[in-house]
Amino acid sequence: MIGLIGISYKTSTVEVREQFSLAKEEIISFSELLQKETGISDLVVLSTCNRTEIYFSQDKYGFHLAAKLVYKTLKHFKRIENKYWHTFYSYADDDAVKHLFEVSSGIDSMIIGEDQIIGQIKEAYMLCTEAALTDAVLMRLFQKSFEAGKRVRTETRIKMGTTSVSGAAVQKCINLFSDLSNKRVLMIGAGETGSLVLQNFHKNGNPKITVTNRTEEKARKLSEKHNCTLLPFEQMPAHLFLYDIIIVATGSKVPLVTRKMVEESLKTRNNDQQVFIDISVPRNIDKKIEELAPVQLFTIDDFQKVISTNMEKRKDSIDTANEIIAEISTEFSEWLASRSLRPAIETITYNLQKVTKEELSGYNKVNSEEIQLAIGEFSKHMAQKYTRLFIKNLKEMTANGKKTETLKLVNELFSISE
């Protein structure tokens, strides 16, 4: 049986999720405790900022008991005393498979279609597999999840358009200028948003970028990381004229770029065009610069509209994504069910061969070698024919292994003994 317990951004706050987060170096220790306390030894742990999910394979307990045992072990391991079971979700078998495929496809993510999750799933799977924590069922399950993720992203429009402010800001620059490689960009701000802006620029056009920030050490680290030029913050107003694109992403409570600064900049540039992008909250660029003729100002509100439109387009792909997930889920379900037929098939084959061999031994004592050979060939042929017939009927009667009650009856029927 495949089981899953999890907690995500959909069911709990970040403060609760943080308590249940499992770092890479904790997974082996957690698995050892789970094995000791429950006997469950096959698992994959997926732990990100938005979710912690534990996938497990076992046949020792009923699902609900198994799920509760995994949860209690996790609480014990993380030394959590408060009750949080109501913030967890749990799925078994087909529902667990479907959920994993939705996660790997990006349709269960906070940002639909995001790519980061598939890499995180692969990393989690590889870590647990290399530690010998996964059985054949989990191996097959996660391989199929990678297939689902790849197909959804390539066969639908779920990745269409950017869904981040940083990505939308860079896309706006691409739309405004046919060639970014000869443009000069000033990035004011060295936080996470600023870093994402630089990442997006390096993927698209790679202009000449300068970084400045009120805390110079943060600006230095960011500029070194992305191979950019560093500008001391106090020199920013005097050097504003050098840049074609100025992007501001800081937490300042007052505007860092004023109308007077821009007026001085335009004089030096001979009124050549400048693009200002303000993705700060609250705004860090004086809105009055819009009144200056060669200036274009874009704010976070402009990009939120683009993001909302792109999100709606991505949502339109979910139905197609679910069709792909259903198809791959069915393939996995059939593979899993067929595994349960193996003992019965092996029993049928072994016992028919055994009966044939035992019965032949009696005939061989009273017949010539030529007759023995002929009877042996005929018996082998009949045993193979009936084996194939029994296996064919077995698959039909049990729906390829899905009807477990029928399968138990077949196992009893072909368990031949003296």
Residues with a known catalytic role: 49
The half-sphere exposure of 87 on its side-chain side, counting CA atoms within 13 A, is 19
- List, as residue ranges, the binding site for substrate: 48-51, 109, 114-116, 120
Total Cβ atoms within 10 A of residue 252: 14
Give which of 164, 177, 235 is closest to 204, Cα–Cα: 177
DSSP letter (8 states) at residue 193: H
What's the CA gap between 69 and 85, in Å, rounded?
A: 11
Sheet of strand 274-278: strand arrangement: 229-230, 208-212, 184-188, 245-248, 274-278, 295-299
Q: Is the dihedral of CA 98, 103, 107, 108 positive or negative?
A: positive
Distance CA 219, CA 347 (A): 70
The sheet that has 89-92: what strands, in order across it? Answer: 42-47, 51-57, 2-8, 89-92
Q: Residues within the annotated binding site?
A: 48-51, 109, 114-116, 120, 189-194
DSSP 270: T
Closest residue by Cα to residue 306 from 115, 179, 170, 118: 170
How many angstroms separate the CA atoms of 244 and 101, rounded?
44
Residues 333 and 92: beta-carbon distance below 8 Å:
no
Q: CB–CB of 16/49 below 8 Å?
A: no
Token pair in block for residue 246: 């100025």
Cα dihedral sign, 95-100-105-106? positive
Annotated binding residues for NADP(+), written as ranges, equal: 189-194
For the chain, helix, strand, coil in percent to 5 are 60, 10, 30
